[in-house]
Amino acid sequence: MSDYAELLKQQKENFLSGATKSVSYRKEQLKKLKQLLKENEEALTDAVHMDFKKPPFETFGTEIGLVIGEINYALKNLDEWVKPEKVPTSIVNFPSDNYILKEPYGTALIISPWNYPIQLTLLPLVGALAAGNTAFIKPSELTPHTSGALSDLMALYFPQDLVTVTEGGVETSSELLAMDFDYIFFTGSTRVGKIIMQSAAARLIPVTLELGGKTPCIVDETAELEISAKRIAWGKFVNAGQTCVAPDYLLVHPSIKEELVGYLKTAVHSLYGDDPEQSEDYSRIIDQNHFQRLTPLIENGDLVLGGQTNAATNYIAPTIIDNITWDDPVMQDEVFGPILPILTYSDLQEAVTQIRKAPRPLALYVFTSEDDTEKFFLENVSFGGGAINDTIAHLGNHHLSFGGVGTSGFGSYHGKASFDSFSHQKSIMKKNFLVDIPIRYAPYEGKMKWLKTIFR
């Protein structure tokens, strides 16, 4: 038996012992996770900085702080979430009591990507623990400092029959995917999502897939352009564009394009100064492979901002490219880097038709002052979730569930949705022995007319 198989066996035994099920135990674990984050904030921040020079402010705001916020929310609401949900009976089952129990699946496998290496690993863990599961975590091999720190810290704060971190790449993932987990929560690319789902299908393991896609960002002629530009520049260049819900491309009304580009340039300058390479507030590309994948995309269209690169440090400046067509290479796959292509649309129907030609995106943003424009996109484009007049911000509200649709994934989490994702809904009907209506029992002769009066 491999080490992983032995660890999984231990987790299964722990789960079956019932130890993880009491609400007080779950809360204790959530508090421990919060303690881990608070006591090791600096070490974790340093680790992410070593991995891709992520600014400490962003590490707290988009990773550690976000997870602490989710833990606090779960601690406050868990008593309510775990309660059996009472539902009415149906006429054919009168009288009976009906309710839905929220039952943990058991042992959960969480596979996470590199781009928000703390948040995307620990937010699912909050859901798994709140729902009473044990968890195996496989963080990304592309952030070795953060994954190593998480592995060391988890081992210090949690028994391994409750939470285990297994470091490694594809081989480790593949070994874990061949094992008998009760739930798989995967965040990563659509390509690997398909591999995960195939493996899960072989054992009929339920999955949540949080995947990627090309997120459109539409700006119409009624938008307040200066504020729009700031919010777009922030959402695109935070984490150096390596955000699953970053605006992938701009689709703008031609009448305001020049003015918007002017404001975008100003916004980028105010974020990162004259030379973003010198800014402490700007991240690097995660590795050479992604650097090599991204740099040719700068050649598309006409460069209006940035374009500078430094292969030695995986630096790509915040870059804007104009006069892009739908057929350009930059429009074929998720950009996932600090390159913002600009396209134009002549009318809203054309914009929607073009967006619909691509797979359904994880997010969509519309900048407009017109309610009808907002409504038109919301009603006519299928996408995971999004924002009107902002970018990325919807992720920071745990009252909004977060997830994709189509090739950007399925299932959702954040807030109560995380608890629900890691819980099986066990529906129960309870009857008494006092009443036993005979209509369902054979012989059926003469009973059809009664049955038909029920289902008229």
Interface with ligand NAD by CB under 6 A: which residues? Answer: 111-115, 120, 138, 140-141, 169-170, 173-174, 187-189, 192, 195, 210-212, 244, 334, 336, 362, 404, 409
Residue 19, amino acid: A
Cβ-proximal residues to 417 (8 Å cutoff; 6+ apart), any chain: 127, 401, 402, 403
Compare residues 173 and 314 and give the one whose CB is closer to ligand NAD. 173
Distance of CA 92 to the CA centre of its chain: 41
Angle separating helix axes 119-130 and 23-39, nearest 10 degrees: 160
User: To the nearest whole angstrom, how small is the minimum distance from the Cβ of residue 245 to ligand NAD?
Assistant: 7
User: To the nearest whole angstrom, how small is the minimum distance from the Cβ of residue 263 to ligand NAD?
Assistant: 27
Rg of the chain's alpha carbons, rounded to an integer?
A: 25
User: To the nearest whole angstrom, how small is the minimum distance from the Cβ of residue 383 to ligand NAD?
Assistant: 12
Instruction: Report how far residue 381's alpha carbon sits from residue 344's, in angstroms, rounded to the nearest whole number.
Output: 17
Catalytic annotation, pick one of 58, 210, 217, 334: 210
Segments of 309-371 assigned E as strands: 309-310, 315-316, 319-322, 339-344, 363-367
Compare residues 141 and 374 and give the one whose CB is closer to ligand NAD. 141
Instruction: Report how far residue 174's alpha carbon sits from residue 187's, in angstroms, rounded to the nearest whole number.
Output: 15
C-alpha closest to that of 246 among 33, 394, 83: 394
**DSSP-based three-state secondary structure for 111:** strand
Compare residues 20 and 115 and give the one whose CB is closer to ligand NAD. 115
Compare residues 71 and 142 and give the one whose CB is closer to ligand NAD. 142
Place of tokens 């109560």: 416
Q: What is the 3-state composition of the chain as percent helix, strand, coil, each rounded to the nearest 5?
A: 50, 20, 35
Q: What is the dihedral of CA 419, 387, 54, 31, to 10 degrees?
A: -20
Compare residues 241 and 276 and give the one whose CB is closer to ligand NAD. 241
User: To the nearest whole angstrom, how small is the minimum distance from the Cβ of residue 376 to ligand NAD?
Assistant: 25
Q: Which residue number has the CB closest to ligand NAD?
A: 212
Other C-beta atoms lying within 10 Å of the C-beta of residue 456: 4
**210 in active site:** yes
- Dihedral (CA of 279, 65, 230, 340) sign: positive
Q: How many helices (H) and strands (E) does the chain have?
A: 16, 18
Compare residues 188 and 276 and give the one whose CB is closer to ligand NAD. 188
User: To the nearest whole angstrom, how small is the minimum distance from the Cβ of residue 184 to ligand NAD?
Assistant: 11
Compare residues 140 and 368 and give the one whose CB is closer to ligand NAD. 140
**217 in active site:** no
User: To the nearest whole angstrom, how small is the minimum distance from the Cβ of residue 397 to ligand NAD?
Assistant: 15
Other C-beta atoms lying within 10 Å of the C-beta of residue 230: 17
User: To the nearest whole angstrom, how small is the minimum distance from the Cβ of residue 141 to ligand NAD?
Assistant: 5
Catalytic annotation, pick one of 63, 70, 217, 244: 244
- The residues annotated with a catalytic role in the active site are 210, 244
